Amino acid sequence: MLFLHEFERIEAEAFLTLAAELIEEDGIVTAEEDTLLEEYAAALGVPDFTFDAAAAAAARFTMSQLNETSKRKVYMELYSFALCDGVEAPEERRALNTLRDALELDSHICKRLEECAEDLFAVYDEIEDALGAEPAGVTVTNELPQPDLPAEDA
């Protein structure tokens, strides 16, 4: 969601179609995947989105018309959908490869984008751990030591 804010409605719907297609590739749509799709739909301004499998080819074509940077953003965001349930199924890998080819993206760039997405998920996990961490029992203050002041003359 971080990188798709510039999309018009037709591009947003195309992205959501490809995201829905990707999460259905392995035959299992988890609650996490469904929630993620709903969050993206709301953030992209398409809260009434419904998946139409017949629209997938047109969605790939729409995405293929984007500039190179936007295509990379789409690929990275869709890779996040493949990881959402914690497992990248072989069917999802095939769908990502098909997407990569449709977008005419370099496989090395896609690999780097995947690594970035994985690193981002790891940071999110660290943040979640920190938010839920128990206090360490150490008190940290932001007070600076006061300098010794000269004694006042009597």
pLDDT at 152 over 70: no
**Residue 114 pLDDT:** 94
Question: In percent, how much of the chain has pLDDT > 70?
Answer: 86
The string of pLDDT tens digits covering residues 27-45 is: 888 888 999 999 999 999 9
Distance, in Å, from the CA atom of 61 to the CA atom of 111, rounded to the nearest integer, reads 22
Give which of 28, 17, 12 is closest to 84, Cα–Cα: 28
Q: Residues 99, 75: contact at Cβ < 8 Å?
A: yes
CATH code of 9-122, in short, is: 1.10.3680
Distance, in Å, from the CA atom of 111 to the CA atom of 35, rounded to the nearest integer, reads 26
Q: Where are the domains of the chain?
A: 9-122
Strand ranges in the chain using DSSP code E only, listed in sequence order: none
Amino acid letter, 148: D
Q: Residues 81, 36: contact at Cβ < 8 Å?
A: yes
Task: Record the pTM.
Answer: 0.79
**Residue 137 pLDDT:** 66
**Residue 87 pLDDT:** 77
**Residue 139 pLDDT:** 58
The string of pLDDT tens digits covering residues 60-115 is: 999 999 999 999 999 999 999 888 877 788 999 999 999 999 999 999 999 999 99
Rg value, the chain, Cα: 23
Instruction: Kindly report the backbone phi and psi dihedral angles of residue 131, in degrees, each rounded to the nearest multiple of 5, phi listed first.
Output: -65, -35
With a CB cutoff of 8 Å and minimum separation 6, the contacts of 52 are: 17
Distance, in Å, from the CA atom of 69 to the CA atom of 7, rounded to the nearest integer, reads 12
Query: Who wins on pLDDT, 133 or 130?
Result: 130
